[in-house]
Structure 1
Amino acid sequence: MLSACGQGDAPLSIFWADEGLDGGFWDALTLQGLGGTRKNLFIRNAQLLSSEVWKKLSAVLGVPRPGILPVFFLESVWEKGQPKLPPHLTKLRCLEFAEKKRWIWRAPALDARGIRRFIEERASALGLTIRPDAMEVLGESLPPDAASVSSAVEQLSLLAHDGVIELEHTRNIARYTPDLVLFDLIRHVQEGRADKAWHAVLREGDSGDGILFPLLGLMAREGRMLWQLQAGESVYVPQHVAGMKRQLAARLGSAGLARIFAALCEAEWSVKSGRLQPGQSLERLIAELTLLFASTPKCDMAG
């Protein structure tokens, strides 16, 4: 997409609407760099922005700024084959203009059923076929994330010299998708299984130096999502895990969720203050979080 717009080699900045759009975002959106420097701006969870913010955005977007490409991700649940958007969004002039220009791309999020179809589509696009037993492993192992799936299939294509992905090619699938280690780690932590959590870390030969801060970021997002669910707010959750996440949020309650954020802040501060090495901080974080999740009433973590 970016390459087609002539922005393929421009730097990318990602902003999260659920964290608010600060002055840095508005400067990035409105101020053009010297010498025509190009930039790409991704705004995730943009459906959470208020109607007032969207009105301001619509006015700003009405002024062409060459070299600045903002992309807004409206990550909503689907109903009757279409994404369900807040009413104030459907009336915006910028959305109507984008619709006329055919700048809007709609696609449902991957779920347990759709991920296999997406794997097949990516493989077919690369001229590959996948053995049924290999597909079984990929469908169960890969996270419902299009970028991770695409990366995995592209890496596996390097092994499929005859154009066929065999079961043996999938043995070490985690190393083809770096994010998969973090997905596995979070899943095992939420299961209260410290042993499996450490297995996910150690199978990559990582002592914690490279995993801690990416984990803190993903776990913070997970915590915010659970907090919103527990508070009864509207938040996008992939359909195949929605029920389990709501159960988990209810079981943790406000006190348990607050402990998650306290543990994340302590883990970050302990490293930045020099009190602990990243590996030591990761060890304490995994121990504290797995104990927290294990002490809550069990819920079905499948999915």
Structure 2
Amino acid sequence: MSRPGYMFLVCPDAELLHGQIDSVLSAPGNSGFEKRVYWADDDLPPAFWDDLTLQTLFGSSKAVVLRRAHKLKAAQWDSLDKAVSSLSDSSVLFLCLEGQWQRKKPAIPAVVKRRKCWTFAEKKKWVWQSPGLDDKTISGFVNNWARETGISFDNRVQPALCKALPRDARAARLELDKMELAAGDGKKLKAEHLESIAFTGEMDFFEFMDIMSQGGDPVTLWQRVLTNHTEKDSMFFPLAASITREARALWMILNGEESEVKMPPFVRKKKMALAQRLGPARVARIFDLVLEAELGIKSGARKPEQALELLVASLGALFAPQRPARR
């Protein structure tokens, strides 16, 4: 099977992008690729262009992945148009267009559609598109997992699992890993196994943190908090761990250690802006709020759902923009 010289991957879900790239690179006849990842949020370095056009010394192959390529400017697409026409035989380029789909239509910028590399890729069928996980695609995602792992389902368990899983592929895979362990040697998933899925509903922890820290819709936030009262497992401890990691990253940024914070450049930029807005005193206060909430549960003074509500309310006030003092 001949591999494409380059591919457009149109999907807002990073985990699904990784899966498609790995599927292409592991196809029969393809082997030994060294993956090199670049981000379109930053200026593309000379190494990116070298990886596209220069042969390697020892004949190895390079898989060059450009994440968030939908952020590229017109001039950069002009350069890419020229570069793919002289793409090295040892390189394959993956251009990831990661914008959110609108009205079930793929997010393909107009500046891309005008380029020769796009029209040629469409003609050669070098375009892969997926809206990510939603109520329609989650079933196929679960069925693929079941085939790969040899898991079978008890009566009516498959649709219940599809409904319970988060609509984020990375979070969903973590839950499916738990399901595989729960199924055990019998490789059969039963209804009671689904009780171990810790986080139900459509909002994952990344979205939860983003709404809380960036001043998103408070109604959506509190709906998720109040829904947790009816769930078997409290979301408090996973959320507390996420908040602590967030605070640690913000503290490192404030202390000049942003290069040690392992996250994509566009996420790091958002965190740097948040860290500067909060300042050292409020970032330090995040650790205190989490500790106070945990102590309240462990001492028996509060139930987990009470601690969760108090923590979210306190963090909401902490993250809120500060009003200038009246004179």
TM over 0.5: yes
Residues 118 and 21 (structure 1), Cα distance of their counterparts in 2 relative to 1, 3 Å cut? farther
- 8 Å CA contact 1:39, 1:67 repeated in 2: yes
CA 1:57/1:159 → structure 2, altered by over 3 Å: closer, same or farther?
same
RMSD: 4.8
Give TM-score scaled by structure 2 length: 0.55
- With 93-102 and 78-87 compared, the bigger mean Cα shift is at 78-87
For 2:75 and 2:110, the matched residues in 1 are separated by 13
Residue 164 (structure 1) aligns with:
188
1:141, distance to aligned residue in structure 2 (A): 4.8
Q: Which has the higher contact order (CA 8 A, sep 6+)?
A: 2
Q: Which residues of structure 1 form unaligned runs of 5+? A: 175-179, 225-256, 267-279, 298-303
AA matched with 1:120? V
Kindly, what percent of the aligned residue pairs are identical? 23
Whole-Å separation in 1 of the counterparts to 2:58 and 2:165: 46
Deviation per CA, 1:186-223, whole angstroms, max 9, x where unpaired?
36964699xx887117779xx96xx9599762696286
Residue 209 of structure 2 corresponds to residue 186 of structure 1: yes
Q: Which amino acid aligns with 1:166?
A: K
The superposition leaves residues 163-199 of structure 1 with CA deviations (integer Å, 9 ceiling, x where unpaired) of 432244445557xxxxx99638836964699xx8871
How many Å separate the matches in 2 of 1:145 and 1:6?
31
Would you say 1:85 and 2:85 are equivalent positions?
no
**1:68–1:74 CA distance, 2 compared to 1 (3 A):** same
**1:38 and 2:84 correspond:** no
Cα distance change, pair 80–282 in 1 and its aligned pair in 2 (3 A) = closer
Amino acid at match of 1:260: L
Change (3 A) 1:137 1:48: same
1:105 partner letter: W
Matched, 1:99 2:92: no
Q: 1:200 maps to which residue?
A: 238
On the 8 A contact 2:151/2:180 being kept in 1, the answer is: yes
- Is there any run of 5+ residues in structure 2 with no aligned partner, and where? 1-23, 214-220, 226-233, 253-259, 292-311, 322-327
The reply on whether 1:56 has 2:79 as its aligned counterpart is yes
Q: Does 1:145 align with 2:145?
A: no
What is the TM-score with the length of structure 1 in the denominator? 0.59
Structure 1 residues 76 and 202: CA distance shift in structure 2, 3 A: closer
- Give the drift of 1:61: 0.6
By how many angstroms is 1:23 displaced? 2.4
Aligned residues: 244
